[in-house]
Amino acid sequence: MTDERPVPLISVVIPNFNYGRYVRQAVDSVLNQTYPAVEVIVVDDGSTDDSIAALESYGGRIKLLRQKNGGVHTARNAGIKASAGVFVAFLDADDVWKPTKLERQAELFADPRVGLVHCGITYVDIKEKWLSTATNGLRGSVLKDLVLRNIGVVGPGSTALVRRECFERVGMFDGGLAPSEDYEFCVRVACHYEFEFVPEPLVLYRQHPVSASRNLAKFEQSSVAVLCRIFSNPAAAEVFPYKRHAFGATYRILSGVFYQDGRRAKAIWYGLRALAAWPPSVTYFMRKLLARKAATEENVSS
């Protein structure tokens, strides 16, 4: 006897802002999924390029929503509200999925404890030239790892498939925490659900050249604000004992980001804060210093 239970609908939300040159490829990669029950919702966030013409060409095969520019979080939230799926996935308009992406992820929701399934990523440049691949991801009870920044893949930019009830339980994306709203959302989900992971690189993630500053002020502010939010959330009580460690890990990341941006004074300041919050961070900084010393000596000798 065959199993005639209906296949759960998956809603795919694609936020788009001025990616007319890529959005067709993104939409096509969803329409070509092997999973048999998919609705495609594209939320155009006030594009001024040829995005609308490209999207209107799909007719009834997609649901097209248009809004004034409000940021990716508002587009995702609008898409979630307009969706009907038991599960919701997100795809950035400049990224691409492999055909089996949703099918492979949907298999892992048999366990009701699982709220989010992510997958491996292939990083490519704007011309889809391979840059790197990530195939190690968190699974199980991941809240502690997330808070301590022991992060492998996750999402939900273009990797995550999320059980709909997660949004009903923990809420949607908080734009006040941009650009860290994805991470903060995943932390909220991890307070109540387990994660699963498909190690296959089923997403092509397009990396664009960015300015040197990369709006570090917002990243700095949101990184600290997210931690304050986490440690005031009763649902995250299990990680409260790791507060100093968590702040140390975040300060360490900020130190590295500012160092890469050439802002050495700020990098040193956050390095000292990392050591003050979590003294074992010294081993990380020592490894980095030794690695740089070795690289310098190798360059001199060559």
Q: Could you tell me where the beta strands, DSSP code E, fall in 136-290?
A: 161-163, 194-206
User: In residues, how long is the chain?
Assistant: 302
Tell which wins on pLDDT, 157 or 1. Answer: 157
Q: Is the pLDDT of residue 300 over 70?
A: no
Alpha-carbon separation of residue 276 from 149, 244, 265, 279, 280 (angstroms): 18, 9, 17, 6, 9
pLDDT at residue 4, as a whole number: 65
Triad 164, 165, 169: Cα angle to 5° = 130
Residue 240: strand, helix, or coil: helix
Which residue segments constitute the domains of the chain, with CATH numbers given?
A: 10-206 (3.90.550.10), 216-301 (no CATH)
Alpha-carbon separation of residue 163 from 145, 169, 212 (angstroms): 21, 10, 37
Residue 39: strand, helix, or coil: strand
Q: What is the pLDDT of residues 57-66, one digit of tens each?
A: 999 999 999 9
Mean pLDDT of the chain: 91
Of 100-109, 144-153, 160-169, 237-246, the range with the lowest mean pLDDT is 144-153
Average pLDDT of the segment spanning 187-194 = 97
Structure tokens at 106: 């949907």
